[in-house]
């Protein structure tokens, strides 16, 4: 239902419907902001990433295709790339906050997957099949936007091990997801 509602609003947005775009923003901004803030740990920069993302969504709404995942997943892709750009250009992360994230990652909102789209559930199942190190390294990279070196520092493991865990973890996901 959520995806259908978003898709309806996005289609109207692609036709220049400002009201629909406003509704799409209201329906999705908290999720996109959570993604950006988790990575940046900085309110002003997270808001900047969010603004950039929605400006792009407005201009590129007609480029969405179902092959890019649900509307929300597609929008998360956009805000995440913008956030990664900001991370590259800014030194914004708080190391103390990163340490706290090790615990936070274990308590993510699994109930968010309780809807009809099977892609998130399949992804969850496949993530659960990974070795704990692989899963943790991928989580650190994804949720905090960390480089291999930064994941290495956060997990206290050698860089070579981190690269290997991430590479093998992604290969396992590929097999499990039949990509």
Interface characters, 109-138, with other proteins (x: CB under 8 A): xx-xx-----xx-xx---x----------x
Rounded-to-integer distance, Cα 167 and Cα 115, Å: 30
Does the protein bind other proteins through residue 68 (CB under 8 A)? Answer: yes
Among 10, 20, 61, 76, binds other proteins (CB under 8 A): 76
Do residues 134 and 165 touch, judged by C-beta distance below 8 A?
yes
Q: Is 93 exposed, middle or buried (0-12, 13-18, 19+ CB in 10 A)?
A: middle
DSSP code of 15? T
Q: Is 140 exposed, middle or buried (0-12, 13-18, 19+ CB in 10 A)?
A: buried
Residue 55 or 129: which CB sits closer to other proteins?
Answer: 55
Residues from 85 through 104 that contact other proteins (CB under 8 A): 88, 90-92
Pick from 109, 113, 93, 111: which is nearest to 154 by CA? 93
Give the footprint of other proteins on this chain (CB under 8 A): 18, 22, 25, 29-31, 33-35, 37-38, 43-48, 50-51, 54-55, 58, 65, 67-70, 72-74, 76-77, 80, 84, 88, 90-92, 108-110, 112-113, 119-120, 122-123, 127, 138-139, 141-143, 145-148, 151, 166-167, 170-171, 173-174, 177, 179
């Amino acid at each position: 239902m959520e995806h259908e509602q978003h898709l309806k609003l996005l289609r109207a947005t692609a036709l220049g419907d400002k009201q629909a775009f406003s509704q799409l923003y209201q329906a999705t901004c908290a999720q996109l902001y959570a993604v950006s803030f988790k990575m940046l740990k900085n309110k002003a920069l997270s808001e900047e990433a969010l603004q950039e993302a929605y400006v792009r969504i407005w201009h590129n709404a007609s480029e969405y295709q179902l092959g890019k995942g649900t509307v929300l997943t597609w929008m998360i892709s956009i805000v995440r790339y913008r956030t990664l750009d900001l991370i590259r250009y800014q030194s914004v992360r708080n190391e103390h906050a990163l340490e706290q994230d090790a615990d936070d990652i274990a308590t993510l909102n699994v109930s968010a997957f309780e809807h009809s789209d099977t892609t998130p559930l399949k992804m969850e199942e496949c993530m659960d099949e990974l070795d704990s190190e692989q899963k943790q390294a991928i989580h650190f990279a994804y949720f905090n936007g960390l480089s291999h070196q930064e994941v290495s520092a956060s997990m206290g493991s050698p860089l070579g091990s981190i690269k290997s865990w991430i590479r093998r973890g992604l290969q396992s996901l590929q097999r499990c997801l039949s990509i």
